[in-house]
Each structure stands twice: as structure tokens, then as C-alpha cells.
Structure 1
Amino acid sequence: MKSITVINDELCFGGFTSGLNGIWTRNAPSDPPTSDYSSLGDTLGVPLSRIIRPYQASGCKVGAVGIEHGGTGVIKDNILKKVDGIVTDEKGIVLSVLAADCVPIYLIDKKAEVIGLLHCGWRSAAGELIHNAIERMKELGASAAEIQVIIGPHICAECYEVGEDVRNEYHDAFTACELEKIFSVRDNKLFLDLAEAVKVKAETEGINTESIFVIGGCTCCDKSFYSYRRGDRDKQNAAFIIMK
């Protein structure tokens, strides 16, 4: 098991963990919570009824959540289906997403006291996930100029080999100059820098460059984390954040 603290200040506590067994998803809505979520709740001192996990689909849908969503994906089922981002202005509830190479993105507006958490794969990075998240946060009183973006551990640009189909899909979403930073070629192989793609999208939404931070760590290089690219098909890592 490996866990790191992503943020711990007067407003928020957030982290990234492989968990006890990397098993966060129940087989059926009636199943008991997994030991990983039970352990996370104990660590945070939060009941499972205050932890929220959306049912991700590698898309761009973002929802605003509150205590009424507590326990979603952990101890009960509900409407957060095909959702890859959640935002809130309520304290004491834990936002969580699962990832095994995709990018967990932590969003924080300290002034407005609004936070968000995203699961961002290569399609979402080229799509409207970040835009939609910022818009949902604005609806809760946040401002793009005040939002801090933290890019959590994910597969790095040295490991993430992709095909031309991926670059083709990025072609209309980024400028030629941006694409040169996002993609690199080594030994006739194409590699994608997800962090760079996320930074570009965030800056496009009005996020200040100095408010974007990248947490070191590659889920593929570091075998303490689970990695889909490395072969972990049934285990994942969890990202989480809570306003104190």
C-alpha cells in the first residue's frame, strides 16, 4: 500500500492511495463496502455515509454534490452515473474518484470554499471535462482566477505510448504549438503528456499558470501504485479530497 498527501492546509485535505487491496468497487449495489473504502473512512475519521464516488465513464460529465449524495458508490447506488467529476461547497464530505493511470485533478477555490475532483483520461483531457468542472464550480460561487489546480500521480509522458488515432483526436482541441508540447516522438513511437494537456486546458479556462501544480509520481513506473498499462486490470488507486 502506498499513500501520499496531495494537499493539507487550513481548508482541505487530499490524497492519493493504492489502498489495502486496490479493490474499491462492489460487485452489486447491495454488497457491503470494500475494505479499501472502510479503511479510508477510518483514516479520515469520516463515516462511509459521507464519502462519494461517481460511476466514471472516461467522459466529460461533472456534477455538483452534497450530503444527500453521501455514500454513493460506497455503500449505496444513486444517480451519479457516467460522471467523471464532482464538485461541492459543503464541508465534511469526501469526494473520491478511482484511477489506474488516468489523471486525478484536484480543484480548490479557497476564497469561495469550493472544491472539485476529476478523473481525467486521454479523451477527457482533449474534451470538455475541465471546462465543465470550472463551470460547475462557478455556479457554486468560485472564480477561475482563484482556482488552484493540482495534477495528481498518473502515467507519465515517458511511459504513455499512444497511437496516431489519439493525436488525431487532439488535433482539433489544441493548437499546433500546444500539440508539440503534448506529444513527443522517441524511437519512432508516439508518447502523450497528459499533465501538459491538462495544464493547457486549465489555462484556457482562465486558471493562472502559477496556480497549476503537478505532483510527481508515475503510476506505471512506481509499482507501489496500480497501473492499467502495466497490467493491473482489476485494481485501481483512489484520489480523495475533503474540506475540513
Structure 2
Amino acid sequence: MKTIEIINDDLAQGGFTSGNNGIWTRNGPFDPPTEDYTALSRRLDIPLSRFIRPYQASGDNVKIVTAEHGGSGVIKDNELKKADGLVTAEKGVILSVIAADCVPVYLIARSAGVIGLLHCGWRSAAGGLLHNGIAAMKELGASPADIQLIIGPHICADCYEMGAEVREEYAKFFSENELEALFTVRDKRLYLSLSKALQLKAEAEGILQEKISAVNECTCHDKSYHSYRRGDRGRQNLAYLMMKSCNSHQ
């Protein structure tokens, strides 16, 4: 098991964890919470009724959530289906997404008091997920220039081998110069940097370069995490983010 702290200040708290078992998804809509969620709830001293997890689909859909969604995907079924991003302006609710090589993206807009959490696979990193996440935050009063973006642990460019068809897909969204920065060739094999793709996307959305950072940990290299590319099936890591109930923003 491995857990790291992504952010913990007067406004926000967020982390990334493999859990004890790496099982965050229940088999049925009325099943009890998984042991990993229960353990995380105890560790953070926050009830499961305040956790929210969407049913992800590796797409571009983002949902604005409130306390009314509390427990969704964790202790009860929910309507947050085919969503890979959550945004909220409410304190004390925990946004969470599962990932097993894909990129968790943490978004914090301090002056507006808005946060977001995204699950970016290679399609979402090239497509509109980040744009839609920022649009949802803007709907709640945030400005792109105010947003801090943190790229969480994910499969690194040294491990993420892709086919030529992926580069062709990325050519629809990035310039040739950008593609040169995103893709590298080693031993006639093509590798993709999801982190660089998201940094370019973020800057294009108006997020300031100095407010973009990345956690330098690879889920495939580090066997403490679960990795789809390394062969883990049915086990994922969990990213989570919340605005604290008691902080200087109040």
C-alpha cells in the first residue's frame, strides 16, 4: 500500500492512494462500501456519506456536484454515470476518481472557492475533458488564471508505449511542434507523455504556467501502486480532493 499527500493547506486537502486492496468499486448498486473506502474514511476522519465517486467512462463529461451527491458511488448508487470529472464549490465533500495508470488532475481555484478532480486517459488528455472541467469551474465563479493545476501520479513517458494511430489522433489536437514534445521514439517504439499533453492543454485554457505542477511518480514503475500496463486487473488507485470545512476562506 502507498498513500501520498498531493495538497494540504488552509483551503484544500487531497491525496493519492493504492488502498490496501485496490478495490474501490462495488459489484452492485446496493452493495456496502469497499474496505478501502472504509479505511480511507477512518484515516481522514470523514464519513463515507461525504465521499463522491462517478462511474467513469474515459470520456469528456464533467459533473458539478454538491452535498446532495454525498455517498454516490461509494455507499449508494448514483446518477453520475459516464463522468470523468467532478467539480464543486461546497466545503466538506470529497471528490474521488479511480485510476490505474491514467492521470488524476487536481484543480484548485482559491479566490473563488472551487475545486475539481479529473480522470484523464490518453483520449481525455487529448480531448475536451480539461476544457469541460475548467468550464464547470468558471460556471461556479472561478477564473482560469486563478486555478492551480496538479498532475498526479500516472504512467510515465518511459513506460507508456503507444501505437502510431494514437499519434495520428493527437495530431487532430496538437501542432507538429507540440507532437514532437509529446512523443518520443526509442528502439523504433513510440512513447507518450500524458503530463506534457495536459500541461499544453492547461496553458491553452489560460492556466498560468507557474500554477501548473506534476508529481514525479510513475504508477507503472512503482509497484506500490496498481498499474493496468503492469498487469493489474480489477485493482486501481484512488485520487481524492476536498475543500476543508474550516479554513481561512470562510
- The alignment's TM-score, normalised by the length of structure 2, stands at 0.97
Counterpart position of 1:198: 198
Counterpart position of 1:52: 52
Counterpart position of 1:177: 177
What is the deviation of 1:239?
A: 0.2
CA distance in 1, matches of 2:42, 2:166: 40
Aligned pairs (5 A) from 1:35-184: 35-184=35-184
Counterpart position of 1:211: 211
The amino acid across from 2:170 in the alignment is Y
What is the deviation of 1:30?
A: 1.0
What is the deviation of 1:241?
A: 0.6
CA distance in 2, matches of 1:118, 1:148: 13
CA distance in 1, matches of 2:216, 2:93: 26
Counterpart position of 1:188: 188
CA distance in 1, matches of 2:166, 2:68: 38
SS at match of 2:201: helix
Which structure 1 residue ranges, 4+ long, deviate > 3 Å from structure 2? none
The amino acid across from 2:211 in the alignment is S
The amino acid across from 2:183 in the alignment is F
What is the deviation of 1:78?
A: 1.3
The amino acid across from 2:140 in the alignment is L
Counterpart position of 2:233: 233
SS at match of 1:142: coil
SS at match of 2:5: strand
**Once the two structures are aligned, what percentage of the paired residues are identical?**
65
Q: Deviations over 1:31-74 (max 9, x none)?
A: 10000000111111111110000000000000100001000100
CA distance in 2, matches of 1:209, 1:8: 21
CA distance in 1, matches of 2:171, 2:144: 25
The amino acid across from 2:149 in the alignment is V
- The alignment's TM-score, normalised by the length of structure 1, stands at 0.99
SS at match of 2:79: coil
CA distance in 2, matches of 1:199, 1:227: 22
Q: Deviations over 1:110-135 (max 9, x none)?
A: 11110000000000011000000000
The amino acid across from 1:108 in the alignment is I
Counterpart position of 2:248: none
Counterpart position of 1:17: 17
CA distance in 1, matches of 2:63, 2:241: 15
Unpaired stretches in structure 1, ≥5 consecutive residues: none
SS at match of 2:116: strand
The amino acid across from 2:27 in the alignment is N
Query: RMSD of the alignment, in Å?
Result: 0.5
What is the deviation of 1:202?
A: 0.5
The amino acid across from 1:104 in the alignment is P
Q: Deviations over 1:9-31 (max 9, x none)?
A: 11011000000100000000111
SS at match of 2:133: helix
SS at match of 2:166: helix
